[in-house]
């Protein structure tokens, strides 16, 4: 039967981390760190079976990878500076031209937003001229608005 020692796992972990440099997918590093977890486990308990070692390696690698990709979701950390959505979402304006679900209207802001104080807008409900609204999102060259409550 194969007997893996702590330094085998250290070499395996280091190898996976070095392989990550050649294949930058940010997946292999977790297998390497899993190897270091097993190495630490063997230093604490030298009589760990091969099955236990492989189980610890697989579970720790998988858990670290899932945690990493759940914390750093693709697209969740994009910078919005310089984009209209960064400047307009949450702004309050006044409806200048009535808007309805299938009819675009106009919203006027107190100060110019991204070059204009008058924007084309859409809404899921009818909002008459003179009503205060809040920008929910930006869709192309127009904004989606929602009536302010209160």
Q: What percent of the chain has pLDDT over 90?
A: 67
pLDDT higher than threshold 70 for residue 81: no
84-103: average pLDDT: 86
91-99: average pLDDT: 95
Q: Domains of the chain by range and CATH?
A: 6-71 (no CATH), 84-147 (2.40.50.140)
Q: Return the pLDDT at 74.
A: 67
Q: Which residues pair with 94 in a beta bridge?
A: 108, 132
pLDDT higher than threshold 70 for residue 1: no
> 133 with 146: CB under 8 angstroms?
yes
> In three state form, how does the secondary structure of 59-92 look?
HHHHHHHHHHHHHCCCCCCCCCCCCHHHHHCCCE
Cβ-Cβ contacts under 8 Å for 60 (sequence gap 6 or more) = 33, 34, 37, 38
Q: What percent of the chain has pLDDT over 70?
A: 90
pLDDT higher than threshold 90 for residue 82: no
Confidence of residue 26 (pLDDT cuts 50, 70, 90): confident
pLDDT higher than threshold 90 for residue 128: yes
Q: Return the pLDDT at 18.
A: 95
């Amino acid at each position: 039967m194969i007997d893996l020692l702590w330094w085998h796992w250290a070499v395996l972990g280091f190898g996976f981390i070095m392989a990550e440099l050649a294949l930058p997918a940010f997946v292999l590093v977790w297998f390497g760190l899993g190897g270091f977890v097993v190495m630490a486990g063997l230093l604490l308990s030298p009589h760990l079976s091969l099955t236990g070692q492989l189980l610890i390696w697989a579970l720790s690698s998988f858990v670290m990878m899932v945690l990493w990709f759940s914390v750093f979701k693709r697209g969740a950390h994009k910078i919005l500076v310089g984009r209209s959505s960064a400047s307009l979402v949450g702004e309050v304006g006044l409806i200048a031209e009535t808007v309805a679900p299938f009819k675009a209207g106009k919203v006027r802001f107190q100060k110019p937003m991204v070059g204009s104080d008058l924007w084309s807008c859409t809404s899921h409900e009818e909002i008459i001229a003179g009503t205060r609204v809040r920008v929910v999102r930006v869709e192309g060259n127009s904004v989606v608005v929602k009536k302010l409550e209160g």
